[in-house]
Amino acid sequence: MYCPQCGHQTDGGKFCEKCGSPLPGQSGQQQAAQTGAAAKQAAKQFGSFVVAVLKRPYQECKTTGGEQLISAIITLVLFSLLTPLMFYILFSDGPGSVSFTAVFLEPTIYFALFIFGLHALIFFALKFAGNPVSFKDSFSRFGAFLIPFTAILIIALLFFLLHTDICFTVLAVGLIGAFFAIPPAMLSSYQHSYKGKVDIIYSTIVIYLITCVTFQLIIEHYMKEIFRYMLF
């Protein structure tokens, strides 16, 4: 090993025997250790935030800001994965092979885009109401509101793995609850800064309408893909 500072050849160790500079191997180890420590700290903070939200959902969510952006992204990814995962496992138990792309990957992307679009509708409604909130802050709060419903989907997955019929009822509660409970909860959490340009009721109705139409189109496309795959 050669020292990057003075070029002296050394047999190893933490520092150069000639100039005392840190050797590259040690620097890499330090960087790996720092990365691992940062990942553990982030996971710990995410876990603590999830527990706090589950204990007091609305009270915790209404004060959430941009500091929880990473948590919001993680929650959105988890929420998008769970339902396609259930159906992928379901069809995998069948007699034929299952297309990973058609049954899992594409629906996961659709769910992620749909959830992101739902937040975009809420964000635009807040802007039309004269709220000065930033996209980062509103998305972070949206992710916080999504946590309880993600937990419900996890419970649905557990029931599904236990082969209980109630799993699909729990799944419906998680999905419908997320799509119809989060918009009014989000809008009401910002009501202190409204300037009266658009009433919250009309904003909620418009969001519901667009959400229902979009979700119907996604489900129809998803079911057509599944039936096409099963028949051919």
For 188-226, how does the pLDDT look when each residue is reduced to its tens digit (9 = 90+)? 998 876 766 677 888 889 999 999 998 888 888 777 766
Domain that holds residue 6: 1-48
Number of domains in the chain: 2
| Same domain? 130 vs 184 | yes
Q: Are residues 94 and 209 in the same domain?
A: yes
Write out pLDDT tens, residues 80-133.
999 999 988 888 876 667 778 888 898 899 899 999 999 999 999 998 888 889
> Residue 207: CA atoms inside 13 Å, Cβ hemisphere, count?
30
pTM score: 0.80
Same domain flag for 193 and 114 = yes
Categorize the per-residue pLDDT at 42 as very low, low, confident or very high, splitting at 50, 70 and 90: confident
Short-list 161, 159, 194, 162, CA closest to 173: 159
Q: What is the pLDDT of residue 11?
A: 64
**In a shared domain, residues 208 and 126:** yes
Residue 231 pLDDT: 60
Determine the pLDDT at residue 26: 47
Please state the rounded mean pLDDT for residues 61-88: 93
Q: Are residues 9 and 118 in the same domain?
A: no
Residues 20 and 127 in one domain: no
Residues 197 and 129 in one domain: yes
User: Quick check: is 54 in a domain?
Assistant: no
